[in-house]
Structures are given as structure tokens and as C-alpha cells.
Amino acid sequence: MASWDGGGTVRIGELARVTGTSARALRHYEEQGLLSSTRAPNGYREYDEGAAVRVRNIRHLLDAGLTLEDVAVFGACLDGDVAGARPSGRGLETARERLAVLDARIAAQTEARDRLAAALLRAEHLARRVQDTTASCPTTTTT
């Protein structure tokens, strides 16, 4: 088996290394139909040079907030320059839908953060009042 320097194929470990992706993730992408390999006579997966581009594009879209199901919409575009490709109507729709989901999550997290900050402020205020009260209580001793 040759390395990509010679234009051949690489095994899953090498593809994982050059793309910064785990072998487990690569197998998952393959199970989801996003990546393909051939099998060597010994059963090992072999990937051609284009697999690295495809994996990097998958990672790019996942890092942008898309799901694997969303990424599948981009199909053939995954083999080239995803960022520079002419957008399809379905791709734009998918991106808009995912952006709406992310915006809703951010809004919910912001509300939760605001509630926690308000509760913490009340608790700290109460803690100061209790400290002030206990500090000003006279000490009595019995003999």
C-alpha cells in the first residue's frame, strides 16, 4: 500500500492522523454514508487521497454547528471546496434551519444563565445579611 505521496491509498489510522479525526469517527462517517473505503485482501479499510478532503469538509461543517444528517445534504460538495461551492437551495435551507436551532439554544442558555446569576446575587445578598446579623449579636456568657 502506497502513501498519498505516491498517489496510492492509506489505511484508517493514517487518514485519522492526517485529518485530526479519530478512527472511530471515520468508521461512523462511513456507516452514515458520508465516507467510503475499499477493503484490502486482509480486510483493512483503504482510503484514496480524496478522503482527506472529504473528512476535513465534514469536520468543517460539523464545527459550524451542523449535524451529520445535515452534512449529508451537501453530498458531492464534500469532495471539493465546500466554502467556495455554489450553494444549493437545500443546502441554504439546511443551514438556515440549523442556525434557527442554534439561536434557540443560545436564547435558552442565556435565560438559564440570567436565572442562575439572579439566584446567586440573591444568595450572596442573603449570606451578607446573615453575616452582618451574626456579627452584631452580643455575646453572652453564663457562669
- Answer yes or no: do 65 and 106 share one domain: no
pLDDT in tens, 7-58: 689 999 999 999 999 999 999 999 999 999 999 999 999 999 899 999 999 9
pLDDT at 129: 85
Give the pLDDT score at 142. Answer: 58
Residues 68, 62: contact at Cβ < 8 Å? yes
Q: Is residue 61 part of a domain?
A: yes
Contact 91, 61 (CB under 8 A): no
Burial of 27 (0-12, 13-18, 19+ CB in 10 A): middle
Residue span of the structural domain in which 3 resides? 1-86
* pLDDT digits 0-9 by tens, 89-133: 999 999 999 999 999 999 999 999 999 999 999 999 998 888 766
Say whether both 81 and 113 belong to one domain.
no
Q: How confident is the model at residue 75 (pLDDT cuts 50, 70, 90)?
A: confident
Residues 81 and 123 placed together within one structural domain of the fold: no
